[in-house]
C-alpha cells in the first residue's frame, strides 16, 4: 500500500493503535514513517479504547479525515451475515458461490449506484431506498461547516482563542 498509494495514507483497523507499534517495529517501519503513514481506529471500536488511544488514533480527532468512520467493512460483513442461515448446510462450493453472488450484486446494484446522484432510471427505486452516498456526505459536510462560526464564538467565550488550544486538550 505504501508503494501504491504513496504518502499521507491512513489505515483503519480495529486494533490500529496496537498495529501501529507492530508496524513501527517491523521491516516496513522506516518506510511507513517516511511516507507519514497513520494507523487509525474506526469509530465503533475506538470508543472501547482508553482516552489516550482515542486522542491519537480515533477518526474523530484526525485532521483531514472528514466524517469517515472507517467502519465500511464492518457494515459489509454485517450484511453478509444474512447468508449464514441459507448457506449453513450448503457445500463449500455453494457457500462460496453465494458469497460471490452477494458481493457482485452489492457492487453492481448498491455500491456503484450510491456513488451517483443521477442513478440509472431502471434502478431508481433501489437507489432511492438505499440513499446516495456522495450526496448525503456532501450535505453532512455542509452542515458541519455551517456550525464553525458558532464553535469559534464558543471557543472565544471560554478563552480558547482561534481554536489552536483544542489540539493541546487532546494530548
pLDDT at 44: 78
**79 CB neighbour count, 10 Å cutoff:** 12
Residue 54 has pLDDT above 90, yes or no: no
Strands (E), 15-79: 38-40
Query: Worst-scoring range by mean pLDDT, 77-91, 101-115, 146-160?
Result: 101-115
| CB distance 27 to 2 below 8 Å | no
Single out the residue of 57, 43, 65 nearest to residue 144, CA to CA: 65
Q: Would the CA dihedral through 159, 161, 167, 171 be positive or negative? A: negative
Residue 48 has pLDDT above 90, yes or no: no
| Confidence bin at 93 (pLDDT 50/70/90) | very high
pLDDT at 126: 43
Which cell numbers hold the place of 130?
A: 438505499
Q: Per-residue pLDDT tens for 142-156?
A: 888 888 888 888 888
pTM for the model stands at 0.58
CA distance 101 to 108: 10
Average pLDDT, whole number, for the chain? Answer: 80
Amino acid at each position: 500500500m505504501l508503494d501504491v498509494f504513496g504518502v499521507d495514507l491512513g489505515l483503519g483497523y480495529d486494533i490500529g493503535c496496537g498495529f501501529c507499534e507492530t508496524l513501527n517495529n517491523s521491516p516496513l517501519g522506516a518506510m511507513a514513517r517516511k511516507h507519514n503513514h497513520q494507523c487509525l481506529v474506526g469509530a465503533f471500536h475506538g470508543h472501547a479504547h482508553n482516552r489516550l488511544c482515542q486522542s491519537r488514533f480515533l477518526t474523530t480527532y484526525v485532521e483531514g479525515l472528514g466524517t469517515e468512520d472507517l467502519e465500511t467493512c464492518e457494515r459489509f460483513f454485517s450484511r453478509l451475515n444474512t447468508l449464514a442461515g441459507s448457506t449453513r448446510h450448503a457445500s463449500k462450493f455453494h457457500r462460496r458461490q453465494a458469497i460471490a453472488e452477494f458481493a457482485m450484486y452489492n457492487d453492481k446494484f448498491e455500491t456503484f449506484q450510491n456513488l451517483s446522484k443521477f442513478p440509472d432510471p431502471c434502478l431508481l427505486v433501489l437507489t432511492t431506498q438505499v440513499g446516495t452516498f456522495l450526496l448525503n456526505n456532501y450535505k453532512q459536510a455542509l452542515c458541519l461547516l455551517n456550525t464553525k462560526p458558532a464553535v469559534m464564538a464558543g471557543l472565544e467565550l471560554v478563552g480558547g482563542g482561534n481554536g489552536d488550544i483544542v489540539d493541546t486538550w487532546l494530548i
